[in-house]
Structures are given as structure tokens and as C-alpha cells.
A = this chain, B = another copy of it.
């Protein structure tokens, strides 16, 4: 059996991390990489990744996706370019129409029916027409605040309320994330950023809440309510990428609520900040279910975001290739799992 052939579209931190992970696996090869960044176009992925090529086939990064998409180029594409379904959608359709399965890192694609039902329908129809599957996943949305919650309700006879909490550190992240989360702003500038929409914060609450609700059979009474509050530091904090003074914003405490039968039944709590331990905050992921039985799950420290998303996308490759054609979510597929053997052993042909 031939190696599983993987195309990577987007070679930033996520896409290049997936490449690095794939190169350590057997039964799989990277068959093409598309990226627009002038510093990467035309270079070997091995040079960019700073690792020896060994017996892997050479892959030169191209910015021309159309030239790359020759018949048979790939069994599956890892699309790591966007956060929003609207932005990812034309790229997904292009891949689907070439008969290529797709895994997208776009947070909204983890449950596109939540905010883009029409695009979800279109992707589903196209995927069925071309006989491929499309999945959005990552560490969150994709696992921590949704799939893991749903899984734990499987041990419950009944469920009254759910809280998913992710308390994590932003220290490893670079300028783009600092800007999205408002780190380093004054509280006033943070407030203005919220008003003018420039603080994206975490993308994914509507998707996670809807995935949980649909998964267990609750009907949401309306859109997910969201709030973002600045986490104002009382001490100076410093990372590799940013330095803030006491009184500045160290991060963003984002919360979301899903209402079911008029009651707040699904709560999302997601404070993210640089150097949380400086003020005694312990990072972790928490799932609390009030039901029969109650469930109190914690993961300490939290599963790190970057490597977690990279692993989830790579590890779901077999499930997506094996799935019946169409748009899938993590609710539809067998559980993610590490791939420590030959990836070809996972593929049903």
C-alpha cells in the first residue's frame, strides 16, 4: 500500500508543526506545501523546519495552489490558514473539487453549522458529490471544551448543567496572539478594542456550545452570550515577546453561556493571560457536569494549545479518510488517538 499523501496549505506555526510531526511518522508523506509568506516561498520545507531531509521526498513550498493541485497530489489536505468558516470555505471547496479530503484548523469549522449553516450545507453537498470528507478540529474547539465534555456525559444518566473551563498561559505565543487578546494594552485601550471589534479573543464558543448541545440533545434558546473582560496585572510581567507593567492588561477572561429552556445550562470560562503563575493562577482544563452522576474532571496543567492542535489535526487523518463522504464534526467520528504505528494500518480500503 502506498503512503498516505498529505498536502499542507498554510505553513505558519500550525502547518509547519504538522509537517514536523508527520515527518516523524511512518506510512505517510508530505506531498505538497502551499504558503504565501515571501520568506518561505520557494524554499525546501526541510530548510524551513531546520531538520535533515534523510530519505523523505523533497518538498518545495509554493504559493501557487492551482499548480500544486494536480490529480493524485494528495489523499488529504491539512488547511491551516484561517479562523473563520467564510475565509476557509473557498479553499475547502477548491480541495474538495479535486477529490481531496480536508482537515481545517479554522475554529469555526469545528462546528460550522453553529454560525454558517448555509456554508456548512454547501460544503456537505460538495463533499458528498466529490466523495470526500471535511472536518474542522483542533485542541479547542475540537477537544477540551467540547468533545471531552460530550464524552464525559456518556457516563451520565441525566445532565442538568455543564461548565467547561480552560485556564491557560499565553506566554509561548507571539505578537499576533498578543494583539488578538489585547495583552499589553491599558484597560482603556482594551475597552476601545472591544468596542471596535479589533480584539478577536478566543474564536469557538458558539461552536463548542452548539456541539455539546446537539451532541446530547439540548436545543439552544438563542445565540451563545459572550463576554470579554481584561485581566489587569498587579505586577510587571514579561515573556519572550512582550513586557507589560503593573496596571496593564495581561490577558482576556472570556466567558460564554448557552441557554436551554430559558436557563443558563452550558457555561464556558476561558481566561487566557501571560505568566498566570505570577499572580497565583494555576493553569488547567476543567469539565464540571452537574447531573447523575456529577463529573469533576481536571487536567493540570492545561493541554498546551499549539502542540495540541497540531496533534489533533494529524491524528484525525485516518478517521477523515475512512469516513463516509460529507462534512463531519468530532461528534461523527471515532475518537482521536495518537498514531504510533504505521499510518497505513489505520486506513480502510
Contacts and interface: CB of A to CB of B under 8 A. Distances in A.
A338 B307 contact: no
Interface string A306-348: 0110111011100000000000001111111111111001100
A203 interface: no
A335 B338 contact: no
Given A155-B308, A311-B155, A340-B216, A295 B291 contact: no
Contacts of A346: 217
A334 B337 contact: no
Contacts of A316: 154
Which of A155, A314, A339, A342 gathers most chain B CB within 10 Å?
A155
A349 interface: no
A308 B289 CA distance: 14
Contacts of A291: 338
Contacts of A147: 151, 335
Interface in A236-280: none
Contact of A312 (B155, B336, B338): B155
Contacts of A139: 155
A157 B218 CA distance: 34
A191 to B, nearest CB: 35
Contacts of A148: 151
Nearest to A306: B293
B331 A155 contact: no
A297 interface: yes
11 contacts: A24-B158, A150-B335, A154-B311, A155-B308, A155-B336, A157-B338, A215-B337, A219-B341, A297-B299, A298-B298, A332-B334
